[in-house]
Amino acid sequence: MSLTHRTWAYLTRKWPQTVTLLGLMVAIFTLMATCWALHQTTTTVGANIKTALKPSLTVSAKQAPDGLTADMVARLAGFPGMTGAYELDTQSLVRYAGRDGQDLSLKPGEKLDPATLNGAEDLENGWEESGRLYAATNTAQDGSFSRGDLELTSGRMIDGEHQVLIHEDLARRNGLAVGDTITLRSVESDQPSVEARIVGLVTHHKKQSDQTPTMELYENRVFSDAVTGSELIFGQTAGRSLAQSGTFFVTDPDQIDDLMEQVNAVADSQAQPLRVTKDDSDYVNARDALTGMSQIVLIAQVVVVGVCFAVLALFLVFRQQHRLRETGVLLAMGQTKRSILAQRVAEVSLVAVVGWLLAWPISSLIAAGVGQRLLTSNAPSTVIGLADVTVVVTASTWGMVAIIGLPLCVAATIAAMVPTVRLKPKHILSHMS
């Protein structure tokens, strides 16, 4: 009568007990795997958001007539701690003309009162009759597009030099279509006009107040590439001034303050004032949400493991009470305590392994569903990098659960047997009658 035979006979013939234990095991391993998977995901997301949320320093030279020079841009982008990637922005009030040289007709806005303006002479320069140009390296990243205030309705986004997006209303008023060319001239500088091709039309979804002046109306807004902007403001002498401001991406957002100090030192040493601001709010929000998350998950992990194995040990103690007679009889027949303990360990381990296998698909489902909800509900929905994260129970998570869970099962089994093992066979036999 071998140990394996006894183990197998017990598990199969006392199947209600076996099923109960199996249920307990599946629950334990499912909880463990789900917690572990969540923990792993928060760690992965934590690493991802450092770059995904593009923390950056913005250096603005709006107050400097020369703007950001090519040298300065290269110097800032090459700073240790910068990724090297940057985006340039320029804004200007611009007058638009068609092919025939005639000014385009704009949607008229609220008349400006010269008395409330700083420079009444500017009005004479035609500010009243201009729209605003937003020139940028990456127009799609412009807040009004990413927030959904504006939407591209036909054509495509800007992907080269001397390209513009104009409003549907402006196109309709002037009989323009995608593919047409318009001429732009800045009313804020003396530089010659620049030609650009319309590559797309936009419309707006955000309401503007009735008091909006002509130049601020969405309808009169034009988006262009960065080169068009720099030529309008700084002229065609390429390689001198590139933009009014630049956004420089940072490698490690946790070091952004140090980096900002160094960049400020450079900015302060310039003849023309530069203003440095940092933008890591997306990262900070996401990081704080994640820190909260992973703390919850960590506590949950410890609690889950503790509670699960306390419950398992209690369950096994309770069951051992019902197996005292069997224990006593086996001892009386010369079985050693060691072999009886070995049988218990074999029984529990076998069920644990099956429970562990069953828990994989179950915990995968739970992790994907509940885990996802937990992650996204605990983090601001604006946080990119969380919305598209899937919580999966990976093989390594699965291994961890086994490496920690199975020995704990064995430990719980042994712990449950301690009170019995300490008794003499005589006492076990007299207890049971």
Ligand X SMILES: Nc1ncnc2c1ncn2[C@@H]1O[C@H](COP(=O)(O)OP(=O)(O)O)[C@@H](O)[C@H]1O
Pick from other proteins, ligand X, none: which does 115 bind, CB < 5 to 8 A by kind? none
CA distances from 405 to 39, 97, 304, 355 (A): 16, 74, 11, 11
Name the residue with tokens 């199996």: 22
Name the residue with tokens 């961890």: 400
Alpha carbons 339 and 289: distance in angstroms, whole number: 52
Least separation in angstroms between CB 296 and other proteins: 44
Identity of the residue, 281 or 430, whose beta carbon is nearer to ligand X in the bound complex: 430
Which of 142, 353, 425, 431 is the binder for other proteins (CB under 8 A)? 425
Which of 96, 116, 430, 432 is the binder for ligand X (CB under 6 A)? 430
> Which residue has the CB atom at the shortest distance from ligand X?
430
Least separation in angstroms between CB 332 and other proteins: 5
Which of 147, 156, 373, 427 is the binder for other proteins (CB under 8 A)? 427
Neighbours of 143 (CB within 10 A): 8
433 in contact with other proteins (CB under 8 A):
yes
Least separation in angstroms between CB 430 and ligand X: 4
DSSP 346-372: HHHHHHHHHHHHHHHHHHHHHIIIIIH
Tell whether the torsion through CA atoms of 117, 123, 125 and 126 is positive or negative.
positive
332 in contact with ligand X (CB under 6 A):
no
Token readout for 189 is: 């500088």
1 in contact with other proteins (CB under 8 A):
yes
Name the residue with tokens 């009658």: 433
Least separation in angstroms between CB 427 and other proteins: 8
Identity of the residue, 11 or 171, whose beta carbon is nearer to other proteins in the bound complex: 11
Alpha carbons 188 and 60: distance in angstroms, whole number: 17
Alpha carbons 92 and 122: distance in angstroms, whole number: 13
> Bridge-partner residues for 181, per DSSP?
197
Which of 196, 293, 331, 374 is the binder for other proteins (CB under 8 A)? 331
Least separation in angstroms between CB 338 and ligand X: 24
Least separation in angstroms between CB 329 and ligand X: 17
Segment 395-424, which members bind other proteins (CB under 8 A)?
Answer: 424
291 in contact with ligand X (CB under 6 A):
no
333 in contact with other proteins (CB under 8 A):
yes
Which of 31, 201, 330, 383 is the binder for other proteins (CB under 8 A)? 330
Count the residues of the shown chain that bind ligand X, applying the rule CB under 6 A. 2
Q: Contact at 8 Å (CB) between 280 and 55?
A: yes
Stretch that binds other proteins, among 2-10, 155-163, 263-271, 404-412 (CB under 8 A): 2-10
Least separation in angstroms between CB 426 and ligand X: 7
Least separation in angstroms between CB 433 and ligand X: 9
328 in contact with other proteins (CB under 8 A):
yes
Burial readout 108-129 (b: 16 or more C-beta within 10 A, e: otherwise) = ebeebeeeeeeeeebeeeebbb
**What share of residues in the chain are helix, strand, coil (percent, to 5)?**
55, 20, 25
Pick from ligand X, other proteins, none: which does 265 bind, CB < 5 to 8 A by kind? none
Identity of the residue, 167 or 323, whose beta carbon is nearer to other proteins in the bound complex: 323
Tell whether the torsion through CA atoms of 42, 43, 44 and 47 is positive or negative.
positive
Specify burial of residue 11 (Cβ count, 10 A radius: 0-12, 13-18, 19+). buried
Segment 268-327, which members bind other proteins (CB under 8 A)?
Answer: 325-326
Strands 68-69 and 163-167: unpaired
Count the residues of the shown chain that bind other proteins, applying the rule CB under 8 A. 25
Specify burial of residue 258 (Cβ count, 10 A radius: 0-12, 13-18, 19+). exposed
Alpha carbons 8 and 343: distance in angstroms, whole number: 10
Pick from ligand X, other proteins, none: which does 271 bind, CB < 5 to 8 A by kind? none
Pick from other proteins, ligand X, none: which does 28 bind, CB < 5 to 8 A by kind? none
Identity of the residue, 147 or 427, whose beta carbon is nearer to ligand X in the bound complex: 427
Binding site for ligand X (CB under 6 A): 427, 430
Binding site for other proteins (CB under 8 A): 1, 5-6, 9-10, 13-14, 325-326, 328-336, 424-427, 429-430, 433
